[in-house]
Amino acid sequence: MDKFTTLTGVAVPLRMINIDTDRIIPKQFLKTIKRTGLGQFLFNDLRYNANGTKVEEFVLNRPAFQNAQIIIAGRNFGCGSSREHAPWALLDFGIRCVIAPSFADIFYNNCFKNGILPVQLTEEEVAHLLNASEAGANATFTVDLDTQLVTDPNGGTFQFEVDAFQKHCLFNGLDDIGLTLDKAADIDKFEENRGVRAPWL
């Protein structure tokens, strides 16, 4: 998993609440267990018409928000079913941070396990950032995990809270497998000692 330290980039304003995981990645695209290739289907039903043509007015299809790495959205982001494909699709599309007033618990935790930083701010702070993000490519935001600060295009800063363990994992690029491998020396020592104490095992 890639580390998350500091991210500077364009933010996409999604002025919607209760964006559920089926909206993030519709159920028909859940046939794979690969973490790659899902970005093309991110927000599929909002990005494309039934005939496959782009919905030009949808924010992710606007030229000003191409290559965006941050999403700013309304409360209860990631609600619905607990599909891990949702953060996979966001990450494959290039999104490394989602800012919202609140998140669904399972989605929130899945983000950390997949290299995405979910930032929770107040409704008022998110409203301010949504307005600032409308400038698209002409405005960039910085999200610093170390200092736990979001900086808007005008230099305004917003403090966010994050669990110390989740911060450690994301900052060091440790998913569940990485956490285990990080203890490889201790595991080897345990296995060696157990072999001496209980050679029949």
* Residues with Cβ within 8 Å of residue 2, at least 6 apart in sequence: 115, 173
CA distances from 189 to 179, 181, 192, 194, 199 (A): 17, 13, 5, 9, 15
Predicted confidence at residue 147, as pLDDT, reads: 98
Instruction: Tell me: pLDDT of 183 over 80.
Output: no
Helix/strand/coil percentages in the chain, nearest 5? 40, 20, 40
Nearest one of 102, 110, 98 to 35, comparing CA atoms? 110
CA distances from 188 to 154, 194, 197 (A): 51, 10, 14
Residue-range domains of the chain with CATH:
6-197 (3.20.19.10)
CA distances from 61 to 96, 98, 169 (A): 18, 18, 33
Predicted confidence at residue 201, as pLDDT, reads: 65
The token duo for 126 is: 């998110």
Predicted confidence (pLDDT) per residue in 109-167, tens digit: 999 999 999 999 999 999 999 999 999 999 999 999 999 999 999 999 999 999 999 99
Buried b (16+ CB within 10 A) or exposed e, 58-92: ebbeeeebeebbbbbbbbbbbbbeebbbbbbbbbb
Predicted confidence (pLDDT) per residue in 45-87, tens digit: 999 999 999 999 999 999 999 899 999 999 999 999 988 999 9
